[in-house]
C-alpha cells in the first residue's frame, strides 16, 4: 500500500475523530456522555497515529537490516510499496555488484596467474626446475588422458570387431538361408514350369474338346434334320400305303361285285338250263348255250375269286407294311427323342468344355504370372545374396580397419608410454644445480625437446588420433 | 299232282345242304334263285321258313335243314329252289346249287311211309367222288304238309285248352264275384 494513501487516510481519520470529539464537547460541555465520547475519539486518533508511527519504523528497520545484511533474497515485505520497491532496487544493485566482484576476482586471479607465469618466465633463466616439472606434469596428465582415450578406443574397436563378427556370422547365415530359399524357389519355379506346361496342354485339350463338342453338335443337328426328313418320308410312305390299301379295298369291293354278278349269271344260266330241260327236246340247243353261259360265269367267278384272293393278299401285305411303318415311325420318334436328349447333353458338354477352356486359359495365365513372379523373387534373392556378400566384404574391411586402428592405438600407446616414464622420471628427479640457462634438450631428451621436438611428438600423436578418429568416423 | 318220272329224266339239280349233297329231278324245278325276303308266319313250325313273293306270286318256303332234322344254324340257307306243284309253286331253302348234272340213280327198293324222311329219299348216286341222295319233291311236300298239320292241330288243341281254361277261370270269377 502506498505511503501517501496511508498518510492521507490516517490524517483524515485523526482530523475527523478530533473534530468529532471537539464538536461533542463544545455542544454539550456538561454532558458526561459527550465528554466521554470526545475523549474516546481523541484517544482513538492518538492510537492510530501511534500505530502509523510503529509501522513506519518497523518497515524502515527491516529495510535497513536487509541492506546491511547484503541478502540476495528478500526475507519479507515491509508493508509499504515504496519501501519494497526500494528494497528490490537495492537488492538488484547488490547482485550486480556481486557478479562484478566475482568477475573481478576471476580477472584478478587470472591476472595473478599471468603475473605468476610472467614471473616464472622471468625466472626461467635463473631456475628451470619448476617449469620442467610443470611441463612434465602436463605431459604426464596429457599422456594419462591419451592412454585412457586409447583404452576406450581399443574397447570400442573390440566392440566393433565383435559386432562385425556377429554381422559376418548373421550375414553368412542369411546368405545360406537366401541360397536355400533361392534353391527352393527354383524348385518351385520348376514345378510351376511343369504346371504351366500341364495347364497349356489342358488348355489345348479343353479347346480341342470344345471344338469337337461344337462339331459334334453341328453333326448332331444335321443328323436330327436328316432323321426328321426320314420321319416325314416314312409318314408319306405310310400315307401312300394307306391310300394303296384303300384302293385295293375298293378293288376288292368291285371284285366282290363281279363275283356276285358271276354268281347271279351262274344262277341265271342254271335257270336257263332248267328251262331247257323243262322244254324237253326243244330246249336242247338252249341248254347248250345256257351251259356255256354257266361255264363262262363260273370262269369269271373263279377269276374274281382269284383276284379277290390276291387283293386280300395285297391288303394283308399292305396292312403288314403299314404296321411295320407304324413301328418304324414309333422307333424313329423314339430315336428322335433320344437324339434330342443327346443333343441337349452335347450342348451341356459344349458349355462345360467352353467353361473348362476359359478356366484353363485363366489358369495358364495365372501360372505364367506366378512363374514371372517366382523368377523376380529369385532375382531379388540373388540380389540379397550379392548384397550379403558385399556386406561380408565390408565387414572384412571393418575388421581390417579395426586391426589397423588397434595397431595405431598400440603405436600411440607405445609413444605415450615412452613419454610418460621420462616425464615421471623428470618429476621425481631432484633439482640439482639448475643450469644457468634452461636447456630443453637436456630437460626432455633427444626425442622431445630438440628444437620443436615436443611439439612434433604432440603433433604426431594428434595426427595419429585424427587418423583414428577419421577411421572411426569412416567405419560409422 | 303232276307225277314226274324220275327214270325218264336224266338231268338232276345237284345241291348242297350242310355237308351232304342231294339231287332233285330238273323238270320239277321251276327256277333257282337267291334267298328272298321271307315273311315269317307266327305260331307255325320251323319247317315253314316263311312266305315269299316272286313274280306276282305268294308261295310258301320250307327249310330243307329242318326237314332233314339238322335244325336251325347260325348261317342261314342262302339259295332257294322254286318247285312246281298242283297247288302252286313252293320254295325249298338250300345252301348252294351245284348245277344240273346227268346222273344215273340207283333207286331204293323199299320206300318208306309217307310223311317220313325215308319216304323223301328215293335213291342215291355218286358225283365227283361224293354220295348224292335223290329226293322226291312230292314226298317232301307231303312231309311238310303232314308236319304242319300236326303242328297246327297241336296249336289248335292248345288254343282250345287255353280258351276252356280261360272260360273256367272267368266262370269262377263270376261265381266268386
- Highest-confidence range of A112-116, A162-166, A375-379, B94-98, by mean pLDDT? B94-98
B33–A contact, CB cutoff 8 A: yes
Q: Which residues of B touch A278 (CB under 8 A)?
A: 26-27
Q: Measure CB to CB from residue A277 to each of B11, B32, B97 and give the nearest one.
A: B11
Answer yes or no: pTM beyond 0.95. Answer: no
Contact at CB, B97 and A294, closer than 8 angstroms: no
Residue of A nearest to B83 (CA): A274
- Residue B144 pLDDT > 90: yes
pLDDT in tens, A180-233: 887 887 788 788 888 888 888 888 888 888 888 888 888 888 888 888 888 888
Distance between CA B110 and CA B101 in Å, rounded?
A: 25
What pLDDT is stored for residue A435 in this prediction? 45
Q: Which residues of B touch A271 (CB under 8 A)?
A: 31-33
Contact at CB, B99 and A267, closer than 8 angstroms: no
Query: Best residue in A271, A295, A299 to probe B by mutation, most B CBs within 10 Å?
Result: A271
Contact at CB, A273 and B100, closer than 8 angstroms: yes
User: What is the distance in angstroms between the Cα of A340 and the nearest Cα belonging to chain B?
Assistant: 56
What pLDDT is stored for residue B33 in this prediction? 92
| 8 Å CB contact between A88 and A9 | no
Contact at CB, B26 and A273, closer than 8 angstroms: yes
Q: Using alpha carbons only, how large is chain B's radius of gyration in Å?
A: 20
Q: Which residues of B touch A273 (CB under 8 A)?
A: 11, 26, 99-100
What pLDDT is stored for residue A470 in this prediction? 72
B13–A contact, CB cutoff 8 A: yes
What pLDDT is stored for residue A126 in this prediction? 54
Q: How is A390-427 classified by DSSP, letter by letter?
A: HHHHHHHHHHHHHHHHHHHHHHHHHHHHHHHHHHHHHH
Residue A124 CB contacts under 8 Å (≥ 6 apart), including other chains? A131, A438
Going by pLDDT thresholds of 50, 70 and 90, the confidence category of residue B49 is: very high
Contact at CB, A277 and B26, closer than 8 angstroms: yes
Residue A181 CB contacts under 8 Å (≥ 6 apart), including other chains? A381
Contact at CB, B100 and A267, closer than 8 angstroms: no
What pLDDT is stored for residue A465 in this prediction? 64
In this structure, chain B runs to a length of 177
Distance between CA A145 and CA A174 in Å, rounded?
A: 42
Q: Please compute the mean of the pLDDT values over residues B52-72 and round it to a whole number.
A: 89
Angle between helices A129-279 and A440-448 (to 10 degrees): 30
B51–A contact, CB cutoff 8 A: no
ipTM for the predicted complex comes to 0.80
Going by pLDDT thresholds of 50, 70 and 90, the confidence category of residue B15 is: very high
- Residue B7 pLDDT > 50: no
B115–A contact, CB cutoff 8 A: no
Between residues 69 and 88 of chain B, which touch chain A (CB distance below 8 Å)? 79
Contact at CB, B11 and A270, closer than 8 angstroms: no
Contact at CB, A267 and B97, closer than 8 angstroms: yes
Q: Which residues of B touch A275 (CB under 8 A)?
A: 31
DSSP A428: H
Contact at CB, B100 and A274, closer than 8 angstroms: yes
Q: Measure CB to CB from residue B99 to each of A264, A278, A294 and give the nearest one.
A: A294
How many CB pairs below 8 Å do chains A and B form together? 34
Contact at CB, A271 and B99, closer than 8 angstroms: no
Q: Measure CB to CB from residue B27 to each of A264, A270, A277 and give the nearest one.
A: A277
pLDDT in tens, A69-112: 655 555 556 677 776 777 777 777 778 877 877 887 887 788 77
- Residue A291 pLDDT > 80: yes
DSSP B98: E
In which order are the strands placed within the sheet that holds B130-135? B96-102, B11-17, B20-25, B130-135, B121-127, B106-107
What pLDDT is stored for residue B58 in this prediction? 95
3-state secondary structure chain B: CCCCCCCCCCEEEEEEECCEEEEEEHHHEEEEEECCCCECCCCCCCCEEEEEEECCEEEEEEEHHHHHCCCCCCCCCCEEEEECCCCCCEEEEECEEEEEEECCCEECCCCCCCCCHHHHEEEEEEECCEEEEEECHHHHHHHHHHHHHHHHHHHHHHHHHHHHHHHHHHHHHHHHC
Going by pLDDT thresholds of 50, 70 and 90, the confidence category of residue A441 is: very low
Going by pLDDT thresholds of 50, 70 and 90, the confidence category of residue A437 is: very low
- Residue B3 pLDDT > 50: no
Q: Which residues of A touch B79 (CB under 8 A)?
A: 267
Distance between CA B81 and CA B92 in Å, rounded?
A: 5
Q: Which residues of A touch B100 (CB under 8 A)?
A: 270, 273-274, 277
Contact at CB, B32 and A271, closer than 8 angstroms: yes
Q: Would you put residue A280 in left (φ > 0), alpha (ψ -120 to 50) or beta? A: left
Residue of A nearest to B4 (CA): A278
- Highest-confidence range of A360-364, A403-407, B122-126, by mean pLDDT? B122-126
> Cell digits for B98?
351245284
User: Residue with C-alpha cell 345242304?
Assistant: B17
Q: Please compute the mean of the pLDDT values over residues B150-165 and round it to a whole number.
A: 85
Q: Measure CB to CB from residue A274 to each of B13, B34, B79 and give the nearest one.
A: B13
- Residue A345 pLDDT > 60: yes
Stronger pLDDT, A23 or B98, i.e. the higher one: B98
Which of A59, A69, A56, A66 minimizes the C-alpha distance to A88? A66
Which of B3, B26, B22 minimizes the C-alpha distance to B14? B22
Contact at CB, B32 and A274, closer than 8 angstroms: yes
> Cell digits for A413?
600407446
Q: Please compute the mean of the pLDDT values over residues A282-288 and round it to a whole number.
A: 84
Which of B115, B100, B110 minimizes the C-alpha distance to B150? B115
Distance between CA A341 and CA A347 in Å, rounded?
A: 10
Going by pLDDT thresholds of 50, 70 and 90, the confidence category of residue A424 is: low
Contact at CB, A271 and B97, closer than 8 angstroms: no
Residue B25 CB neighbours (<10 A): 25
B100–A contact, CB cutoff 8 A: yes
User: Residue with C-alpha cell 335223290?
Assistant: B134
Q: Which residues of A touch B29 (CB under 8 A)?
A: 274
B112–A contact, CB cutoff 8 A: no
Amino acid at each position: 500500500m502506498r505511503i501517501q494513501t496511508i498518510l492521507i487516510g490516517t490524517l483524515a481519520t485523526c482530523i475527523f475523530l478530533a473534530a468529532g470529539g471537539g464538536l461533542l464537547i463544545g455542544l454539550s460541555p456538561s454532558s458526561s456522555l459527550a465528554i466521554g465520547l470526545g475523549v474516546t475519539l481523541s484517544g482513538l486518533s492518538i492510537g492510530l497515529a501511534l500505530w502509523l508511527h510503529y509501522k513506519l519504523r518497523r518497515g524502515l528497520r527491516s529495510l535497513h537490516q536487509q541492506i546491511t545484511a547484503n541478502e540476495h533474497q528478500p526475507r519479507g515485505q515491509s508493508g509499504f510499496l515504496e519501501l519494497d520497491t526500494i528494497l528490490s532496487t537495492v537488492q538488484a544493485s547488490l547482485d550486480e555488484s556481486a557478479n562484478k566482484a566475482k568477475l573481478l576476482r576471476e580477472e584478478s586471479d587470472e591476472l595473478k596467474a599471468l603475473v605468476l607465469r610472467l614471473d616464472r618466465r622471468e625466472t626461467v633463466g635463473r631456475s628451470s626446475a619448476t617449469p620442467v616439472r610443470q611441463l612434465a606434469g602436463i605431459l604426464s596428465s596429457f599422456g594419462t588422458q591419451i592412454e585412457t582415450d586409447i583404452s576406450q578406443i581399443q574397447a570400442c574397436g573390440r566392440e566393433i570387431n565383435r559386432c562385425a563378427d556377429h554381422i559376418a556370422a548373421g550375414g553368412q547365415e542369411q546368405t545360406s538361408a537366401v541360397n536355400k530359399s533361392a534353391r527352393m524357389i527354383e524348385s518351385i519355379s520348376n514345378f510351376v514350369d511343369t504346371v504351366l506346361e500341364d495347364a497349356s496342354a489342358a488348355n489345348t485339350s479343353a479347346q480341342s474338346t470344345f471344338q469337337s463338342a461344337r462339331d459334334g453338335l453341328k453333326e448332331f443337328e444335321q443328323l436330327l434334320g436328316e432323321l426328321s426328313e426320314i420321319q416325314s418320308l416314312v409318314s408319306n410312305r405310310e400315307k401312300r400305303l394307306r391310300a394303296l390299301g384303300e384302293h385295293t379295298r375298293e378293288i376288292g369291293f368291285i371284285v366282290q361285285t363281279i363275283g356276285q354278278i358271276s354268281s347271279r349269271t351262274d344262277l341265271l344260266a342254271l335257270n336257263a338250263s332248267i328251262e331247257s330241260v323243262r322244254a324237253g327236246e326243244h330246249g336242247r340247243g338252249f341248254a347248250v348255250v345256257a351251259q356255256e353261259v354257266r361255264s363262262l360265269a363260273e370262269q369269271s367267278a373263279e377269276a374274281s375269286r382269284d383276284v379277290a384272293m390276291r387283293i386280300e393278299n395285297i391288303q394283308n401285305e399292305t396292312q403288314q407294311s403299314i404296321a411295320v411303318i407304324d413301328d418304324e415311325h414309333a422307333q424313329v420318334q423314339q430315336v428322335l427323342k433320344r437324339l434330342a436328349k443327346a443333343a441337349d447333353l452335347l450342348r451341356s458338354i459344349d458349355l462345360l468344355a467352353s467353361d473348362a477352356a476359359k478356366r484353363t486359359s485363366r489358369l495358364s495365365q495365372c501360372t505364367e504370372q506366378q512363374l514371372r513372379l517366382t523368377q523376380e523373387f529369385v532375382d531379388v534373392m540373388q540380389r540379397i545374396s550379392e548384397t550379403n556378400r558385399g556386406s561380408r566384404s565390408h565387414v572384412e574391411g571393418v575388421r581390417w580397419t579395426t586391426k589397423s586402428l588397434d595397431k595405431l592405438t598400440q603405436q600411440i600407446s607405445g609413444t605415450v608410454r615412452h613419454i610418460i616414464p621420462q616425464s615421471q622420471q623428470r618429476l621425481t628427479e631432484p633439482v640439482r644445480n639448475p643450469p644457468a640457462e634452461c636447456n630443453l634438450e637436456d630437460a626432455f631428451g633427444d626425442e622431445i625437446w630438440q628444437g620443436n621436438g615436443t611439439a612434433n611428438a604432440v603433433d604426431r600423436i594428434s595426427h595419429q588420433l585424427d587418423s583414428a578418429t577419421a577411421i572411426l568416423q569412416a567405419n560409422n | 299232282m303232276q307225277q314226274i318220272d324220275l327214270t325218264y329224266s336224266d338231268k338232276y339239280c345237284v345241291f348242297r345242304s350242310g355237308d351232304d349233297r342231294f339231287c332233285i329231278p330238273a323238270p320239277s324245278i321251276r327256277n333257282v334263285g337267291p334267298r328272298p325276303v321271307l315273311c315269317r308266319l307266327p305260331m307255325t313250325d320251323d319247317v315253314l321258313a316263311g312266305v315269299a313273293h316272286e313274280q306276282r306270286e305268294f308261295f310258301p318256303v320250307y327249310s330243307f335243314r329242318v326237314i332233314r332234322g339238322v335244325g336251325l344254324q347260325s348261317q342261314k340257307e342262302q339259295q332257294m329252289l322254286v318247285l312246281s306243284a298242283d297247288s302252286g309253286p313252293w320254295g325249298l331253302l338250300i345252301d348252294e346249287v351245284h348245277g344240273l348234272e346227268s346222273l344215273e340213280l340207283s333207286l331204293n327198293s323199299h320206300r318208306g311211309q309217307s310223311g317220313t324222311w325215308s319216304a323223301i329219299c328215293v335213291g342215291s348216286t355218286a358225283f365227283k367222288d361224293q354220295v348224292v341222295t335223290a329226293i322226291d319233291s312230292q314226298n317232301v311236300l307231303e312231309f311238310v304238309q303232314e308236319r304242319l298239320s300236326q303242328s297246327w292241330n297241336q296249336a289248335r288243341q292248345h288254343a282250345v285248352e287255353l280258351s276252356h281254361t280261360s272260360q273256367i277261370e272267368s266262370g269262377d270269377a263270376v261265381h266268386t264275384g
